[in-house]
Chains A and B, each alone.
Chain A
Amino acid sequence: MNITVNGVKHDVACEDGDRLSDVLRGELGLIGVRVSCAEGECGSCTVILNDQPVTSCLVLARQAEGATITTVEGIGTHDRLHAIQEAFVEQQAFQCAFCTPGFIMSAYAFLKENDNPTEEEASDAVAGNICRCGSHPYIVKAVVAAAQKIRERV
């Protein structure tokens, strides 16, 4: 099966019943795709599939055949973080950080549509992600701060 992940085309093997999250983690080693609840509640496994954020635990891998996918590994590097990643670090928008990639990918999809959100809009945008450490207020601040960084970078 062919999929393009983070700009690179891959030919991966998968079973018909596999979840997209299984393939991204197991076959491609993209462990930034976190799987916590595996039933679409927690948002940890959020990736961008053909320009839309999706919970990859609920998508059949085979459905993503020929699709373009972006995971957290594809938006920034250690040396050059994405504006959202920078903002998360600066605002200390995590404690254990298990949920962070999911939050970042939700924010990534959201900020492409709204580059100047209010705190309320930013909060709504990450309503599908759960942080058990309770970092939500910091996460919302980080999303707003990231929006400003993105506006300034352009």
Chain B
Amino acid sequence: MAVPNVVWLSSPAATTFPAHMNRNFDYHRASSPEDAIRLKALLGGNARFWAGGTDLMLWDRRKDNPITAAIDITALKELSGIEVSGNRIRIGALASLTLLERSGHRHLNLRVLAGTARLMCTPQTRTIASIGGNVCNASPGADLLPPLVALGAKVRLQGARGTRIATLEQFITGVGQNDLGSDEMLTHIEIENNDSRSAAVYQRVARTAVDIALVSSAVYLGMGDDGKVAAARISLGAVTARPIRCSTAEERLVGETLTEGRIAEAAQRAAEYASPISDIRASKEYRSKMCAVLTRRCIENCMSEINRKAAA
């Protein structure tokens, strides 16, 4: 085909960012989890484990607490991949959102995480962003937290003095705060491999495809052979400072046959756990109302998913 004439720049000018946008820290590449933990303890200060870096790269705006060192952990094979074994699913902290997005077919419980990952950031940022980063960054709006809490996820923390396991609700202690010791790192996220009559659903409200959640809800339901709810876990996103379980809402469902009224009541109880804020993106009244709406939809969708599976 004929190509129109294009004027090509003969000598591209070198363009760099203004000085205020440069990051001033040292870079270290860890060769093993032990090496990473050793470096973290050794470097002290605000040394940070660096995976995708999609949050940390924007950290330089927080001038009060600059990052002093980046410990690149992306070479640690031990922390990548998703392993589905006998009684559990183990997700490496380095598993990218793209990997998560493409692993939905591997297990029922991975399906909700795959669907959630697909809602996050952009295709070319999902390739680098990691599940471990999303968890450790502990943003109230982190999309993966509600479904992980609903799945009963636990974090595996490796430290200089051994390994410990904590629930997400224990691990995340506040807005942007986690319980990671100065010589510890998150290595895996574990969820149960329960292939029974169960389903998990995540629902959110966001303005655009690449927006973060204004408000979100996640529900896990397990049904007993008697047609009654055997297990329920409900969590909200973007309206609580840290991940929580809406226990009174869950209690309304467990041991019961699901009716429209019970679902609505549980959804209403879930909304009582929200302490939403008003900001430029939505009012607290709107967020609060949507908690109940989204939770109801989650429960209904769980039910239809379970029924569809039973019919198949």
On A, residues with C-beta under 8 Å from B are 15-19, 22, 25-27, 29-31, 35, 38-41, 43, 46, 52-55, 57-60, 62-63, 65, 78-79, 81, 86, 89-90, 106, 109-110, 124-125, 127-129
Contact = CB atoms under 8 A, between A and B. Distances in A.
Contacts of A59: 53, 128
Contact of B12 (A29, A90, A127): A29
B21 A38 contact: yes
A110 B16 CA distance: 29
Contacts of A41: 122, 210
B48 to A, nearest CB: 12
B123 A18 contact: no
B57 interface: yes
B312 interface: no
13 contacts: A17-B23, A31-B12, A39-B57, A53-B124, A58-B54, A62-B29, A63-B53, A65-B29, A86-B3, A106-B124, A125-B123, A127-B123, A128-B123
Contacts of B123: 53, 106, 110, 124-125, 127-128
Interface string B276-301: 00000000000000000000000000
Contacts of B21: 38
Interface string B33-48: 0000000000000000
B123 to A, nearest CB: 5
A138 to B, nearest CB: 16
Interface string B1-17: 10110101100111111
Interface of B: 1, 3-4, 6, 8-9, 12-17, 21-27, 29, 50, 52-54, 57-58, 70, 72, 74, 98, 121-125, 127-128, 209-210
A18 B57 CA distance: 10
Contacts of A127: 122-123, 209-210
A43 B3 CA distance: 26
A22 B16 contact: yes
B53 A60 contact: yes
Nearest to B9: A31
Contacts of A53: 123-124, 127
Contact of B27 (A62, A110, A129): A62
B54 A16 contact: no
Given A35-B17, A43-B124, A63-B53, 18 more contacts: A15-B22, A17-B25, A17-B70, A18-B23, A19-B17, A19-B57, A26-B14, A27-B14, A40-B57, A40-B122, A54-B124, A58-B53, A58-B128, A60-B50, A78-B8, A81-B3, A109-B124, A129-B122
